[in-house]
Chains A and B, each alone.
Chain A
Amino acid sequence: MVTQIRTIRRFSIALALFWTAGIAVSLLWFYKHEQDTVLEIARAEARATYEKDSLYRRWATNHGGVYVTVSASSPPNPNLAMVPERDVVTPSGRALTLINPAYMTRQVFELADSQKNLVRGHITSLKPIRPENVPDPWEARALLKFEQGVKEVSEVQVINGRRYMRLMRPFVTEEGCLKCHARQGYKVGDIRGGISASVPIEPNEGAFASVIMGGVASHSILWLLGVGMIGTGSRVLTRSARVLEKSEERYRTVADYTDDWEYWQAPDRTFRYVSPSCKKLCGYGHEAFYADHTLIERVIHPDDLAAYLDHEHASFDGNPSPIDFRIVRPDGEVRWISHICRVVYTKEGAESGVRASNRDITDRKRADEALREQALLLESEVRERKERELELEAKNAELERFTYTVSHDLKSPLITIKGFAGAVIKDLQNGQSQRLDGDVRRIMAAADKMTALLDDLLELSRVGRIVNAPTLIDMNALTHEVLAQLAGPLEQRGVEVLVQQELPTVWGDQRRICEVLQNLMENAIKYAGEQPHPCIEIGVRDGEEGVVFTVRDNGMGVAQQYHETIFGLFNKLDARSEGTGIGLALARRIIEFHGGKLWVESEGAGQGSTFCFTLNMTPPAAAVES
């Protein structure tokens, strides 16, 4: 901006100098012109004088001269001695002598010479008859020029310290001239000499000086006027430039002194303004953006470019919305930018591009990222803890159920033992012995029952602690192994066994899965009921849970309401049946331990039942990981 004021000042000075020069040239021209005018006037005066002299002379010539009274100043002309009647006497006795035109002219000239400011004439010739008529050097040069055909010669000459306009014209021989000059050999039409007129310039120079003074004065006024206007104009311009400078400085300071990267993009996408801070933020200087507006598309991270272009399109359509994107600096560093913009309108309300602010939010993004990661971590920890809590709750519930069952079922034989022991003592006291045998047997049976219960409990707790690594089990082979173990009971009850071919292989603890199969088949034999042709089918089917193994029988079946009860610890549908009622509870526990499910499907009493189970044991590698 300072440069602009300097420019204004420089321009003003140049203008003033130019103006001065113009005025000076004009003045010079005026001076010269006036000078020429003075000379021209003098020349015209000389010319007029010449013409008049010639006219008088021609008059005299036409009249063959004039007679004047003889006096000292006009003695008889010796050069006219051969002219008859040169001297006459009037009847009254006055002596007259003939004055020829040349002589008359010379006399007039001599008269003029005695007057200071009068035009001086001179008649001259290269071959003068009278010595007075000898030409001076200037006249001699002019006479020579006439002989070459020049009709007029004029020049300013200083004579006796005074400036004169000298003009000379040739003097052509006429008839009257020959009266005297015929003897010199002149013929009519010959250039015999010339008449010069010298006009003093001094009198005109007075007028000239005053005209020049006037010219100088008017030019000075004009010059002052011009310089004044230039000065005023320069001052006004400087002042407005200074105001503009102040306002521009204000806006430039606001715009330039920002850490954000600000810019104003014209509707044709070129940049009208880019803050210098862009260098720090994106690594490119603002000049780079001015030079090539497509640079911004190369600065934005390729993955975010499409989103940015969509945003840019919407913004120029008048729907700007904030957007975050990444940029890639020239050194390869990636930064996060928060970009907001708005449409710019001119005073007339026309759209004039988009004004945008870009803030570096890399640190914030990183913090957010870290926070989010932490939140995710925390969330997963909470989830894990909740899962563990649920697991723990389930374990607790199971433990409670277990304790309850155990306390009840273990107490039961104790009551029997003590009850019948009391009865035995009473009978012994009373000397009665008929019930003793039966009572003692009851006591023994209850003790056996208790032993069995304790063994089962031990087994159950062991199932919860199995440590055998899972192996790939061939279910076909395993089934046949179990069938071989149960060959006795099967044959005894006459059970037909069908094994579906191609049972799949599964991962699991082979010994435990064997127990499950054994349990289910024993149950099938035990609860065959009144069935005359008991049959057990072992197979596999595809269900919602994946591969489902099935052990189907055509025995007593299980009514709908007992489908869950039968899996309870020490639960039996038939109190008189053999066993403690741990079999299905144990089987289910084993299957659940393998990630599977065990359930029963039965249409009801007498309809037979199908025990189904799934296995979801992961292979060893995955098992080790988990």
Chain B
Amino acid sequence: MVEGEPLCILLVEDNPDHAELALRNLSDAGLANRVFHVEDGEAALDYLHNRGRFVDELSYPRPHLVLLDLRLPKVDGIEVLKQVKASEQLKAIPVVILTTSAAERDLAQAYNHYANSYLTKPVDFDSFSRLLQDLGFYWLAWNKRPSG
């Protein structure tokens, strides 16, 4: 399926249960070979910039995909998105919003700040599983990205 370098996903999710669900589903889809989970926006930015406890670039490599919740403690999802897309180094990383909110305002705000995709967490378990599988396949298998 995918050769060469291992695929890397950064999961930003404050709810541990939701994180666990996401990790299990990604794992079931065989995509969770390298998923890093952080619980708030500040940690996400620190990770992406390799700051603080994420300073080691080998342990915390640049992700190929960011799964970003909107409602986060400290720095919220939109702010993280804004900073990623404003950064010359990070703006190429696809950022997929994965949130419970289906509010029109959040959707518009996300796209206005150059989110690559916007997904609502389905309440139904099977839908949730398939969504994460499809998501993984789409972004990590089918989607072409620049090398380096």
Interface on chain B toward A: helix, strand, loop, or mixed SS?
Answer: loop
Contact present for A575 and B39 (CB under 8 Å): yes
Known pairs A407-B101, A442-B20; A421 contacts B125 (CB<8 A): yes
Known pairs A404-B103, A408-B71, A423-B24; A418 contacts B18 (CB<8 A): no
Q: Among residues 98 to 148 in chain B, which have CB atoms less than 8 Å away from a CB atom of chain A?
A: 99-101, 103, 105, 121-126, 128-129
Contact present for B15 and A575 (CB under 8 Å): yes
Can you name 5 A-B residue pairings with CB atoms under 8 Å?
A407-B103, A408-B71, A572-B73, A575-B16, A575-B73
Q: Which of A412, A422, A562 touches B18 (beta carbons < 8 Å)?
A: A412
Q: Mark A399-410, 1 if CB is under 8 A from B, else 0.
A: 000001001110
Q: Which of B16, B39, B75, B101 touches A408 (beta carbons < 8 Å)?
A: B101
Q: Which of A412, A572, A575 touches B100 (beta carbons < 8 Å)?
A: A412
Complex Cα–Cα for A572 and B126 (A) = 30
Residues from chain B with Cβ under 8 Å of A421 in the complex: 125
10 further A-B contacts with Cβ under 8 Å, apart from A419-B18, A420-B21, A572-B73, are: A408-B103, A409-B71, A418-B124, A419-B125, A421-B125, A422-B129, A561-B75, A562-B74, A575-B16, A576-B39
Q: Among residues 39 to 73 in chain B, which have CB atoms less than 8 Å away from a CB atom of chain A?
A: 39-40, 71, 73
Contact present for A422 and B126 (CB under 8 Å): yes
Of B21, B40, B99, which is in contact with the most chain A CB atoms at under 10 Å from its CB?
Answer: B21
Complex Cα–Cα for A415 and B126 (A) = 11
Q: Among residues 398 to 452 in chain A, which have CB atoms less than 8 Å away from a CB atom of chain B?
A: 404, 407-409, 411-412, 414-416, 418-423, 425, 442, 445-446
Q: Shortest Cβ distance from B27 into chain A, in angstroms?
A: 12
Contact present for B73 and A412 (CB under 8 Å): no
Q: Nearest B residue to A446 by beta-carbon distance?
A: B17
Complex Cα–Cα for A421 and B20 (A) = 13
Q: Tell whether A173 is near chain B: CB-to-CB under 8 Å.
A: no
Complex Cα–Cα for A145 and B20 (A) = 187
Q: Tell whether A580 is near chain B: CB-to-CB under 8 Å.
A: no
Interface on chain A toward B: helix, strand, loop, or mixed SS?
Answer: helix
Show the binding face of B for A, using Cβ within 8 Å: 14-18, 20-21, 24, 39-40, 71, 73-76, 99-101, 103, 105, 121-126, 128-129
Residues from chain B with Cβ under 8 Å of A576 in the complex: 16, 39
How many residues of A sit at the interface, in one of the four size bands? 20 to 34
Q: Which of A418, A445, A565 touches B123 (beta carbons < 8 Å)?
A: A418
Q: Shortest Cβ distance from A334 into chain B, in angstroms?
A: 63
Known pairs A414-B123, A573-B73, A573-B74; A408 contacts B100 (CB<8 A): yes
Contact present for B73 and A423 (CB under 8 Å): no
Q: Shortest Cβ distance from A397 into chain B, in angstroms?
A: 12
Residues from chain A with Cβ under 8 Å of B20 in the complex: 442
Known pairs A418-B124, A422-B126, A423-B24; A574 contacts B73 (CB<8 A): yes
Residues from chain A with Cβ under 8 Å of B40 in the complex: 575
Residues from chain A with Cβ under 8 Å of B18 in the complex: 412, 415-416, 419
Closest 9 A-B residue pairs measured CB to CB? A422-B125, A416-B17, A575-B14, A419-B21, A411-B100, A408-B101, A408-B100, A575-B73, A573-B73
Q: Nearest A residue to B121 by beta-carbon distance?
A: A415
Known pairs A571-B73, A575-B40, A575-B73; A418 contacts B100 (CB<8 A): no
Contact present for A415 and B73 (CB under 8 Å): no
Residues from chain B with Cβ under 8 Å of A416 in the complex: 15, 17-18, 21
Q: Which of B17, B76, B121 touches A420 (beta carbons < 8 Å)?
A: B17
Residues from chain A with Cβ under 8 Å of B74 in the complex: 562, 565, 573
Complex Cα–Cα for A562 and B17 (A) = 25
Contact present for B125 and A418 (CB under 8 Å): yes
Residues from chain B with Cβ under 8 Å of A445 in the complex: 17
Q: Among residues 288 to 317 in chain A, which have CB atoms less than 8 Å away from a CB atom of chain B?
A: none
Q: Shortest Cβ distance from A561 into chain B, in angstroms?
A: 8
Residues from chain A with Cβ under 8 Å of B125 in the complex: 418-419, 421-423, 425
Complex Cα–Cα for A135 and B124 (A) = 191
Residues from chain B with Cβ under 8 Å of A415 in the complex: 18, 21, 100, 121-123, 128
